[in-house]
Structure 1
Amino acid sequence: MDYKAKAVAGLLAATCVFSIIALILSVVQVKNVFLPPSTKYGLVFDAGSTHTALYIYQWPGDKENGTGIVSQVEACAVSGPGISSYADDPAGAGASLKPCLDRAMEIVPAEQQRDTPTYLGATAGMRLLREQNSTKADQVFAEISKAIGEYPVDFRGARILTGNEEGSFGWITVNYLLETLVKFSFAEKWEHPQDTEVLGALDLGGASTQITFQPGVTIEDKNTSVSFRLYGTNYSLYTHSYLCYGQTQALKMLLAALHQGNLSSQHISHPCYPSGYQENVTTAELYNSPCVHAPNTSSPAQVLTVTGTGDPGACSIAVRKLFNFNISCGANRTCGFNGVYQPPVRGQFFAFAGFYYTFHFLNLTSQQSLNDVKLTVQAFCKRRWAELVETFPQQKGNLHTYCSVAIYILTLLFDGYKFDEHTWSSIQFRRQAANTDIGWTLGFMLNFTNTIPTEALEHVKGHQPSLWAGAVSFIVLAIVAGLVAAILQCFWKTK
């Protein structure tokens, strides 16, 4: 029995020793431990010509080669029209933003809100208002700044983006989402993808259209050139924005041109509108944009009757007259239209916004051949208004415009941007990439992260994982040894 008692005593002693060692390791062996970087947030308002949306973004504080890995948290649609529509009610523009700002305050942690950069970028709608009445444009921005300033965010200002900014930031968005700029590799780190071509971006808004791509030649006009450094790689891009050539303003220019073709009449025959369609419009409504110039003889109160004739051939001829393809853009230079320099299109292109919505309605977003696209558009343009209303009752508001917009898109792409039957297949019509809506705001946020210093890794006093695991192992062994000793002692007592 003495031998057994000594064995039990030995096990109990071992238990004490193991426990003491474990405590020493867990208390004394403390070293610097690096915490993961904090999450940063950013807010960007996209104030377009027809509507406004707030995008909420986040990214880790430590960046990849100087640029953040940005993801969209949420998008909030602002109720009402675009901010340029508040020219006579500037306070309404500011008030319209508040529900989305309230939503953002629910998402961004309270302790980070004052450090959250917040921007409002206005595009072609406000460019046109500034041309019409710069005082009213300033008043709208003042009320917007006042409204955003009531929230605990780092407001960096509201301003009008240049057309080149809008186009190039949209290009960044497309290529970031399609992983041509940076990609998470099999080595579990972010890398610049090898042998991957970037895509061009085609954007069609309400008041302007943008084309941006990486050309295979030196850009000869510096006004159409923009450079970025993203994730450690330099990009030199061609980009240009055509103000007044967004679909809303283009349709307005088209109707005005048809009116001016016969000023003596109060009746306008519209070849792009379906046969049987009719509407009334005042000259004040028709000529309320700087994109169209009212004739001296017109009376603002005059009512014009517009009647559709459903003639796609005549529609195409009328649409082509909106462009000037005969102006030279310089000796030995290739041109787009209206005397603007453009190198030959190159590579794959992503066509979004208005390009997508019109072609989606016509079921033309599945890489159909050019011949099939033209036949589909022509067939649609020949359908009568009564038939269209019966077939598409939910689309009645804009139904009469789809023919003219479709022909306008084809004219813009082929005669304007100089795509042809060989390069047509390089265009993809998409609303989203990687389940994210495409626009300029994400590209803007990515480029903005270049200006923020990379967050230093924060360290605190703590246990290294290996030492902590060792301490836990010793404690477990000590407990097991103690249990074994107790069980043996009880067993021997029963003998």
Structure 2
Amino acid sequence: MRRPNARAHHPRGESQEAAATTLAPPPPPPRPTISSAMGSRRARGRRLLAALLAAAFAVALLLLVPRSPRRRPHEYGVVIDAGSTGSRVHVIAYRSSSSSPASALPRIDWARTASMKAAPGLSSFASDPGGAGRSLAPLLEFARRRVPPESWAETDVRLMATAGLRLLDAAVAEAVLDSCRVLLRGSGFQFQDDWATVISGMLHNESVEFLSFVYSGKVRSHRAEEGMYAWIAANYALGTLGDDSQDTTGIIELGGASVQVTFVTDKPLPPEFSHTLKFGDATYNLYSHSFLQLGQNVAYESLHDMLSKPGHKSMATHLISQAKYRDPCTPRGFSPMEGAVKLPASVLESKVEYRPYAHAVGNFSECRSAALTLLQKGREECRYHECRMGAAFVPDLDGKFLATENFYHTSKFFRLRSKSFLSDLMLAGEKFCRGDWSKIKKEYRSFNEGELLLFCFSSAYIVALLHDTLKVPLDDKRIDVANQIGGVPVDWALGAFIVQKASNQTEYSDSSLLLFWVGSTPLHFRCRSIYSMLHPEGEKISPEDGIRHGERPVHHNQGETMSLARRRWDLVEFLRWGASDRVCKFS
């Protein structure tokens, strides 16, 4: 019997072969040839090169792909533009830029921006300066509701007055401003006394330089500043600032106390009317002038002064009921008792309160002729080869124009087209002027009678101003009538805000800007590829009462939802900070 652990029996030769197979070490690998060694080195080199290229590509991506900046918190600006007929406060929400000067203009958040107007204008408080400050209280309260309380102490408040106060005696105007300063000091916002002023007409050098403006010479008076600010505002809204094509739009602004005319021209100009601005890569040679006493409301009073000669200024302060004069600028049937209208202190001597009765005849042609006489008053003092408005030089109007303020209000009242409106306005004015006052009041019941009374005059005055004086053809389509473009208000204060904020950015501060003004506003971002999205056509009305831009209440996000408005500005911020400045221009 075989033991379990006994060895198996193998033949001798077979046993040796198996042992050799089991115990012999494996044979050494074959020695590499020279060609195989070189191939291995090439493979390692290719892998290293690929790794280096991948790293370089990653670095390039980090450098070229726009990085999202840290979002700066909202700041707030409030401006009171103290105009001749009222003061408008604009509360402006914006973000500052802390990078290069080219991008240091504020980025307005229109969804958080709003405005409100209060009447009357500060100039109406000439006999009661203390009342001027009190009249601003509702505007300040509106600003407090719009600016978060935690931002009040870091928010500047500024008031800028225009032609209405310029027409007052200097001492009276200063007393009115002092009354406003008292209120502003206690507002809770940051304020310095020199932040409440009558607009001086000087474009400050530091503001001009920071905005890449090159300003030739000095602005000699307020007669250029207001118009130039309005021009900046219009071309900001249109997206044409800094465009080498010189495809800009001129501005004709018919305010309550003055008219502004500003546009680019290549014609030689007298030095007092010539101003050179450089914005970005573009240089603009501007004609700019502000015509005092020729704004719609002041011109209306001046016309009645002229028609009633020997005039109310030579009469006693009491009403002389027997005195009458022919009034072609008022519709027939207007009651003589309604003609005893109190006149603004900015126009008349303080002791004179009333004019004599007018006999309303409602004749458009006669009213237009009288308005033309008023516009040409003082021409005998002309020192230039041609004076179209008084003694001031005005060259031929070049290019496209935007007609704002009372041009817009009158055109809207008559429901006219925005372009080539002059011929239609003349027909509408003729019909309105010859209408019966009692029927007019019934047809336009929603209008204040004092405002309604002006439309016969305003229609004739606009035709006399644009066609008879500035030589604009009645069928000219170069002039567009509007107060807003894509929801952006076209207001001189918009241009002033751009200059002010750009100046502030030279030394960055986390403070907010609350500007009390009658007008307000923004910076300009221009990118051809997204311009239509940033400035969509049309306007949406906000249901909030008392918040207005121009004539209509406007919510600045165009009626979009807040989330969409934010997404739109996120896109703007992405483009501003990215490499897309090759396609976009910032101004």
Mapped contact 2:126–2:172 kept (Cα < 8 A): yes
Query: What's 2:198 paired with?
Result: 160
Residues 41 and 163 of structure 1: is their aligned pair in 2 closer, same or farther, counting only changes over 3 Å?
A: farther
Which of residues 343, 365, 375 is equivalent to 1:323? 375
Query: What's 1:397 paired with?
Result: 450
Secondary structure of 1:379's match?
Answer: helix
Mapped contact 2:235–2:249 kept (Cα < 8 A): yes
The residue identity in structure 2 corresponding to 1:207 is A
Aligned residues with identical type, % of pairs:
28
The residue identity in structure 1 corresponding to 2:226 is E
The residue identity in structure 2 corresponding to 1:246 is G
Aligned mates of 2:495, 2:133 — CA distance in 1: 25
Aligned mates of 2:268, 2:104 — CA distance in 1: 26
* 1:387 CA displacement: 2.5
Aligned mates of 2:438, 2:145 — CA distance in 1: 48
**1:21-420 equivalences in 2 (<5 Å):** 35-62=70-97, 65=102, 68-71=105-108, 73-130=112-169, 134-156=170-192, 157-161=195-199, 162-181=222-241, 192-193=242-243, 195=245, 197-222=247-272, 224-231=273-280, 233-260=282-309, 266-280=323-337, 285=342, 289=345, 291=347, 300=352, 304-324=356-376, 326-327=379-380, 329-331=382-384, 333-368=385-420, 370-395=422-447, 396-420=449-473
Mapped contact 1:77–1:100 kept (Cα < 8 A): yes
Mapped contact 2:376–2:388 kept (Cα < 8 A): no
The residue identity in structure 1 corresponding to 2:229 is F
Whether 2:488 is the aligned partner of 1:436: answer yes
Secondary structure of 1:154's match?
Answer: coil
Query: What's 1:18 paired with?
Result: none
**Structure 1: runs of 5+ lacking an equivalent:** 1-31, 182-191, 459-495
Aligned mates of 1:142, 1:301 — CA distance in 2: 25
Aligned mates of 1:290, 1:78 — CA distance in 2: 20
Residues 196 and 217 of structure 1: is their aligned pair in 2 closer, same or farther, counting only changes over 3 Å?
A: closer
What is the TM-score of this pair, normalised by structure 1? 0.73
* 1:144 CA displacement: 0.8
**Structure 2: runs of 5+ lacking an equivalent:** 1-66, 200-221, 313-319, 511-587
What is the TM-score of this pair, normalised by structure 2? 0.63
Q: Write the deviation string for residues 141-197 of structure 1: whole angstroms up to 9, x where unpaired.
A: 11211211113433251111124222211111111111112xxxxxxxxxx446361
Q: Write the deviation string for residues 245-274 of structure 1: whole angstroms up to 9, x where unpaired.
A: 111111111111111068896012211211
Residues 300 and 450 of structure 1: is their aligned pair in 2 closer, same or farther, counting only changes over 3 Å?
A: closer
Aligned mates of 2:394, 2:72 — CA distance in 1: 43
Aligned mates of 1:418, 1:369 — CA distance in 2: 15
Residues 285 and 359 of structure 1: is their aligned pair in 2 closer, same or farther, counting only changes over 3 Å?
A: same
Secondary structure of 2:299's match?
Answer: helix
* 1:282 CA displacement: 8.5
> Which moved further from structure 2: 260-269 or 413-422?
260-269
* 1:46 CA displacement: 0.7
Aligned mates of 1:313, 1:378 — CA distance in 2: 8
**Structure with greater strand share of residues:** 1
Aligned mates of 1:290, 1:315 — CA distance in 2: 23
Mapped contact 1:280–1:306 kept (Cα < 8 A): no
The residue identity in structure 1 corresponding to 2:231 is W
* 1:455 CA displacement: 7.1
* 1:291 CA displacement: 4.5
* 1:436 CA displacement: 3.0
The residue identity in structure 1 corresponding to 2:398 is R
CA RMSD of aligned residues (A): 3.2
Larger Rg: 2
Residues 390 and 125 of structure 1: is their aligned pair in 2 closer, same or farther, counting only changes over 3 Å?
A: same
* 1:216 CA displacement: 2.3
Mapped contact 1:275–1:383 kept (Cα < 8 A): yes
